[in-house]
Amino acid sequence: MTIQITPLHPLFVGEVSGVDLTRPLGPDDARAIEAGMDHYAVLVFRRQDITDEQQLAFARNFGEREDSRGGSVAKKEDARLTSGVNDVSNLGKDGKPLPKDDRTHLFNLGNCLWHSDSSFRPIPAKFSLLSARVVNPKGGNTEFADMRAAYDTLDDETRDEIADMICEHSLMTSRGALGFLDYSDEEKQMFKPVLQRLVRQHPVHGRKSLYLSSHAGSIQGMTVPEARVLLRDLNEHATQPQFVYVHKWSLHDLVMWDNRQTMHRVRRYDASQPRDMRRATVAGDAPTVQQQAAE
């Protein structure tokens, strides 16, 4: 059976059929999916009952695995999963939902803010692949915004103004916006801000996108309040309903997105009930500040 992709939204997002992710992917299928990612930026695969190992093996077709260190306040010894996937569930080592006041739970609530994965790393992530192992009974949709369309629809004046802007991104900015402000010295060191271009260009098709994320807290050469007002305006523009796809999860869905061309967020859900989501993350290949100035 050959791979088919059906659009799920007027601007981006495709649903892929004709592929079984429990089995190794042939080179033609891997190429078709990567090309689909370049075009659609988000791909949905339904009814894929996979193990962590199969999820990681599928992700490996698109690049190296991103090292997850430095992305959380969870202690290594408290990890529920040791397979190499990122645990984005609300579960502790005992398999039960984390208590309401648990520090890791509070930190993870940052995923409810619009972001691009790992924009707080010097080399941010390329793709993320999220697999639904237990679906929460209430809420918990994941929303995606097309940042190419967001860029394309800016007025010329704004496009010129932001063309070469460089932002500082840190996990302390996104978490700080939720009032999570207490960090150990080691965490402060780990979450030091990194630089990212505000406009980036896709390496294959060359389309530009607005590279926003709730981790972004300042812009070089601007005062912080001035920068934050601009970033808020851009975020408001970029997340208008016409640029957004809402994914309602079914058990064993796998959704794969390109962090270079999209933002995403999870909506609130019933924290007293399990939501087991696991992410394989494909590393990016270069800092965005090394990209050519946008022409």
Give contact residues for Mn ion (rule: CB under 5 A).
117
- Nearest distance from residue 18's CB to ligand OGA, in Å? 25
133 part of the interface to ligand OGA, by CB under 6 A: no
The beta strands (E) that lie in the chain are given as 4-7, 14-17, 42-45, 86-87, 127-134, 142-146, 166-169, 194-197, 199-201, 208-210, 216-219, 244-247, 254-258, 262-266, 276-281
* Residue whose CB is less far from Mn ion, 154 or 243: 243
C-beta separation of 105 from 164 below 8 A: no
* Residue whose CB is less far from ligand OGA, 130 or 162: 130
* Residue whose CB is less far from ligand OGA, 88 or 294: 88
**From ligand OGA, Mn ion, none, interface partner of 277 (C-beta below 5 to 8 A by class):** ligand OGA
User: What is 107-173 written as a DSSP string?
Assistant: HHGGGGS-B-TTTTSSS--SEEEEEEEE--SSB--EEEEEHHHHHHTS-HHHHHHHTT-EEEE-HHH
Nearest Cα residue to 59 out of 256, 202, 276: 256
* Nearest position to ligand OGA, beta carbon: 266
Residue 170 structure tokens: 């840190």
- Nearest distance from residue 253's CB to ligand OGA, in Å? 11
* Residue whose CB is less far from Mn ion, 32 or 194: 194
Residues paired with residue 175 on neighbouring β-strands, in sequence order: none
Evaluated on CA atoms 191, 194, 199, 204, the torsion sign reads negative
C-beta separation of 12 from 40 below 8 A: yes
Nearest Cα residue to 208 out of 126, 264, 167, 148: 148
208 part of the interface to ligand OGA, by CB under 6 A: no
* Residue whose CB is less far from ligand OGA, 162 or 238: 238
- The whole-angstrom distance between residue 67's C-alpha and the CA centroid of its chain comes to 15
* Residue whose CB is less far from ligand OGA, 126 or 264: 264
Select the residue interacting with ligand OGA from 73, 130, 199, 238 (CB under 6 A).
Answer: 130
Q: Per CB under 6 A, which of residues 61..100 are in contact with ligand OGA? A: 88
Evaluated on CA atoms 67, 239, 149, 158, the torsion sign reads negative
Select the residue interacting with ligand OGA from 279, 280, 284, 288 (CB under 6 A).
Answer: 279
- Nearest distance from residue 130's CB to Mn ion, in Å? 8
Residue appearing with tokens 């569930």 = 89
- Nearest distance from residue 271's CB to Mn ion, in Å? 17
* Nearest position to Mn ion, beta carbon: 117
* Residue whose CB is less far from ligand OGA, 121 or 264: 264
> How many chain residues touch ligand OGA (CB under 6 A)?
10
Select the residue interacting with ligand OGA from 244, 258, 264, 271 (CB under 6 A).
Answer: 264
Contact positions toward ligand OGA, by CB under 6 A?
88, 111, 117, 128, 130, 142, 264, 266, 277, 279
